[in-house]
Amino acid sequence: MFKTDLILKASDPGKWEVSAPLIWVDKERSIIVPSGFVTDLASIPKIVRPFIDRNGKTRRPAIIHDYLYQTAIHSRIKRKDADLIFLSAMKSEGIGLMRYAIYQAVRSFGWMFFSGKS
């Protein structure tokens, strides 16, 4: 579950900077996205943007997911684990069945953006 509110400031066009640490905690780990981390929020293909509000409930889960993908090689997190955390984070934000479609899209195409090796 998220332990902090999300505080962002606009960065470059289409980019956002985390202004205060974003903290996620589950049974196995604690993830802290530091201030200064830059994200594009949810990387949603244009064709499905009308169905998913990238400025809504997906924001905090998307930032955790972006952070895990970008730091994977240093944190040694596996892509599947990052994706499962994303799914869990979406559930904690109250995202209904749509979270499974978003998760499947990430599982199918996330390899293009993952910085780790697995």
pLDDT digits (tens, 9 = 90+) for 30-87: 999 999 999 988 666 555 556 665 667 889 999 999 999 988 877 788 999 999 999 9
Does the structure show a pLDDT above 90 at 115?
Answer: no
pTM: 0.85
- How far separated are the first and last CA of the chain, in Å rounded? 25
Q: Which two tokens stand for residue 40?
A: 């594009």
Closest CA to 26 of 82, 78, 67: 82
Q: Is 61 left (phi over 0), alpha (psi -120 to 50) or beta?
A: alpha
91 Cβ contact partners less than 8 Å away, ≥ 6 residues apart: 99
